[in-house]
């Protein structure tokens, strides 16, 4: 008789029958899985039950959507702003993300939660000691100005951190979004992957989506994206192309004053983080100003508070110039 194996009440009786057939007397105990193999138990009477395999079902659901599906540029900016906050919370938990890229920042599905975007994928994440880090908060963020402090690593975590500290000196991340300081780094240089490098990656992430999916006025037109981020453009390196963007007047978005303002402000902030070889500075001593959470979130919040955001400027489908 075919027993209804989907009924949990039949589980013990069914397993008992299987054990009797192979002479097994030990009870494997309760299990949430119904389909359990008995080959290991039959072969190894004592330790076999520990090695049995069980048939499990995993139900997956989509929790986010690609940034390329934004329904307005304001939604895009809100999503990236929220991802920066997520990056901050991760850092406060003593983990540095180290791979801000187009697939690791996503839109929240409409109506799922109050925030608009999030950061995921900690495959390249590394432990960091954030215990001395304090963040005062900025009005307009979910923290509403509350002071937050980093997490103190335990003794075991500190030992592991010291063992992995050199890993922070490895070049990680997606090259298109990587901070310029980390590109083409001499292994002998003492350059560690830090928070300000990830914050710069958020800027290049924004530029990536703007060049692909908005109506910008860059003089290169539709070919701008390939010239800046394309892998088949061998005349200059990624680092040289990024530097060129910082040294020139930044492009604007037609009919979108807030987004144009944000791009130009972030361009200035990223430029200030480096000592660039620009004739206009002459013999003036330049002092780099690393990017901070406060500065980045303040820029995003100011732009989001401006008037003039288009309401229906959905993402323009991107068509590669060579297709």
Phi-psi sector, 43: left (phi>0), alpha (psi -120 to 50), beta: alpha
SS3 232: coil
Q: Per-residue confidence of the chain (323 residues) as pLDDT tens digits?
A: 445 545 555 656 655 665 555 444 455 455 444 555 666 666 666 666 666 566 677 887 778 899 999 999 999 999 999 999 999 989 888 888 999 999 999 999 876 677 899 999 888 888 877 776 666 554 434 444 455 666 666 677 666 656 555 555 555 568 889 998 888 676 666 677 888 999 999 999 999 999 999 999 988 887 888 888 876 665 678 888 888 888 888 899 999 999 999 999 999 999 998 876 555 555 556 688 889 998 999 999 999 999 999 998 999 998 876 64
Angle at CA of residue 246, ends 219 and 292, nearest 5°: 135
The residue written with tokens 């027993």 in the block is 3
Q: What is the DSSP letter of 148?
A: E
Other C-beta atoms lying within 10 Å of the C-beta of residue 117: 24
What architecture is domain 64-125+171-304?
Orthogonal Bundle (1.10)
Q: Six-digit token pair at 173?
A: 């991340």
pTM given for the model: 0.73
pLDDT at 172: 59
Task: Provide the residue ranges of all domains of the chain, joining segments of one domain with +.
Answer: 8-55, 64-125+171-304
Task: Give the span between the Cα atoms of 86 and 107, in whole angstroms.
Answer: 13
SS3 119: strand
* Residues in contact with 137: Cβ distance below 8 Å, sequence separation at least 6, in sequence order: 143, 144, 145, 146, 147, 148
pLDDT at 223: 80
Q: Count the residues in the chain.
A: 323
SS3 161: helix
In contact, 110 and 137? CB cutoff 8 Å: no
Q: Which of 316, 309, 201 is closest to 260 using CA atoms? A: 309
Q: What is the DSSP letter of 236?
A: S
């Amino acid at each position: 008789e075919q027993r209804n194996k989907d009924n949990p009440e039949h589980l013990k009786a069914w397993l008992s029958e299987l054990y009797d057939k192979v002479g097994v007397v030990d009870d494997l105990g309760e299990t949430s899985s119904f389909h359990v193999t008995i080959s290991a138990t039959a072969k190894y009477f004592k330790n076999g039950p520990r090695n049995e395999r069980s048939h499990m079902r995993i139900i997956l659901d989509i929790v986010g959507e690609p940034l390329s599906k934004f329904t307005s540029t304001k939604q895009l900016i809100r999503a990236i702003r929220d991802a920066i906050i997520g990056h901050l919370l991760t850092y406060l938990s003593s983990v540095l993300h180290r791979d801000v890229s187009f697939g690791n920042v996503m839109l929240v599905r409409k109506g799922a939660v109050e925030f608009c975007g999030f950061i995921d994928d900690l495959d390249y994440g590394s432990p960091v000691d954030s215990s001395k880090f304090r963040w005062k908060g900025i009005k307009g963020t979910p923290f509403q100005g509350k002071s937050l402090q980093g997490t103190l690593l335990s003794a075991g975590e500190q030992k592991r951190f010291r063992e992995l500290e050199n890993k922070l000196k490895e070049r990680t991340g997606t090259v298109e979004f990587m901070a310029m300081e980390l590109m083409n780094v001499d292994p002998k240089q003492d350059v560690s992957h830090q928070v300000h490098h990830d914050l710069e990656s958020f800027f290049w992430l924004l530029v990536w989506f703007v060049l692909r999916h908005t109506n910008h006025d860059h003089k290169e037109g539709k070919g701008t994206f390939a010239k800046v981020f394309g892998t088949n453009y061998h005349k200059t390196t990624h680092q040289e192309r990024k530097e060129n963007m910082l040294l020139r007047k930044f492009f604007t978005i037609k009919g979108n004053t807030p987004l144009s303002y944000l791009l130009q402000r972030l361009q200035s902030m990223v430029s200030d983080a480096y000592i660039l070889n620009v004739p206009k500075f002459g013999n003036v001593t330049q002092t780099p100003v690393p990017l901070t959470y406060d500065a980045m979130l303040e820029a995003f919040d100011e732009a989001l508070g401006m008037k003039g955001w288009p309401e229906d400027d959905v993402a323009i489908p991107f068509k590669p110039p060579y297709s």
